[in-house]
């Protein structure tokens, strides 16, 4: 399938030249094309931020939600129509900051969705304030003396909560990122992919070269079924590992936890039991 099937005609891409978001958009389109996923069976859900604009530039079903509130919407969409492929995409501020509570409980619920987080360690939309993942001592126009807080570690949090699939990629490595995305989308359950993505305008520290110099790929000896080993890799900071950290197939998905889905896989709007419940409610109110 030609990746151009996902192009939005006349789209005015509102990202800075050189932004890491461009390569993520390109990589995602190529991934979906190679997996032969059509725009009709795909739903892109996003929050607010530069990363949250990505679904505007890809032809598919789209829901653009509130800041930090995209994961509950993704869970609901997958619940009411399990046959759809649901990809949630947003940034480190939207997902780990404003949406941090939803991020944690989404891991616990384990909906069968893919969660792509553009992690540039800065608030790019609102002119360069520190984000939850900004490194200590990182100086911004607001944090002029440098960030004093410990950076939020989404991978460590996810592994500690026995998330279903946990990975990290770098937007500058399209081939490797594409393979991680394919495995995440195919995975049954919640799949987190934290993607290092340079903000060329507001983050002059964590640049393309910085990420190249400060990352390495997990090799074939890494056992992603070993939670303890995965956690050790997740808290490494001398150099940041890339690849699939952890996979856990023991958790049932959110859909499987709903009793009605055990026998009926059809979308909610096609089921009769809702009409029955509504009629009973109306009768009880007379």
The C-alpha atoms of residue 133 and residue 228 are separated, in whole angstroms, by 23
Summarize the chain as % helix, strand, coil (round to 5): 40, 15, 45
Torsion-angle region of 260 (φ positive above 0: left; ψ -120 to 50: alpha; else: beta): alpha
Output 144 or 281, whichever has higher pLDDT: 144
pLDDT average, residue stretch 134-152: 93
- The secondary structure of 117-139 as a DSSP string is EEE-SSBTTTTSB--TTPPTT--
pLDDT at 90 over 70: yes
Residues 6+ apart with CB under 8 A from 174: 23, 26, 27, 30
Sort strands 61-64 and 165-170 into parallel, antiparallel or unpaired. Answer: unpaired
Residue with tokens 């903000």: 199
Q: How confident is the model at residue 114 (pLDDT cuts 50, 70, 90)?
A: very high
Residue 242: pLDDT over 90: yes
Nearest CA-CA partner of 13 in 50, 38, 46 = 50
Q: In what order do the strands lie in the sheet with 61-64?
A: 61-64, 42-46, 85-91, 114-119, 191-196, 165-170, 240-247, 215-217
3-state SS, residue 45: strand
Write the pLDDT tens digit of every residue in 259-283. 655 556 666 666 655 566 667 766 7
Domains and CATH numbers, the chain: 3-260 (3.40.50.970)
Spatial separation of the C-alpha atoms in residues 228 and 236, rounded to whole Å: 13
Convert the pLDDT of each residue in 46-84 to its tens digit. Answer: 999 999 999 999 999 999 989 999 999 999 999 989 999
- Tell me if residue 187 falls in helix, strand or coil: coil
For residues 171-192, average pLDDT: 98
């Amino acid at each position: 399938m030609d990746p151009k099937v996902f192009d939005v005609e006349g789209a005015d891409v509102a990202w800075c030249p050189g932004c890491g978001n461009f390569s993520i958009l390109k990589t995602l389109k190529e991934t979906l094309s190679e997996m032969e996923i059509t725009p009709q069976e795909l739903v892109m859900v996003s929050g607010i931020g530069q990363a949250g604009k990505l679904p505007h530039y890809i032809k598919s079903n789209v829901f653009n939600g509130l800041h930090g509130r995209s994961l509950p919407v993704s869970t609901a969409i997958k619940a009411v129509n399990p046959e759809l492929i649901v990809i949630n995409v947003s940034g480190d501020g939207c997902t780990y900051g404003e949406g941090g509570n939803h991020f944690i409980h989404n891991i616990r619920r384990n909906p069968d969705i893919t969660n792509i987080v553009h992690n540039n360690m800065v608030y790019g939309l609102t002119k360069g304030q520190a984000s939850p993942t900004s490194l200590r001592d990182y100086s911004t126009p607001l944090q002029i003396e440098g960030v004093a807080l410990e950076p939020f570690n989404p991978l460590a949090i996810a592994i500690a909560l026995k998330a279903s699939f946990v990975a990290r990629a770098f937007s500058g490595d399209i081939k490797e990122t594409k393979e991680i995305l394919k495995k995440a989308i195919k995975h049954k359950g919640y799949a987190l992919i934290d993607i290092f993505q340079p903000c060329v305008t507001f983050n002059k520290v964590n640049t393309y070269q910085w990420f190249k110099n400060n990352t390495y790929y997990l090799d074939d000896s890494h056992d992603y079924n070993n939670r303890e080993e995965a956690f050790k890799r997740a808290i490494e900071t001398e150099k940041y590992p890339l690849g699939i950290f952890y996979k856990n197939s023991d958790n049932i998905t959110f859909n499987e936890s709903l009793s009605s889905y055990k026998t009926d896989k059809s979308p909610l709007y096609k089921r009769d039991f809702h009409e029955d419940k509504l009629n009973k409610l109306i009768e009880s109110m007379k």
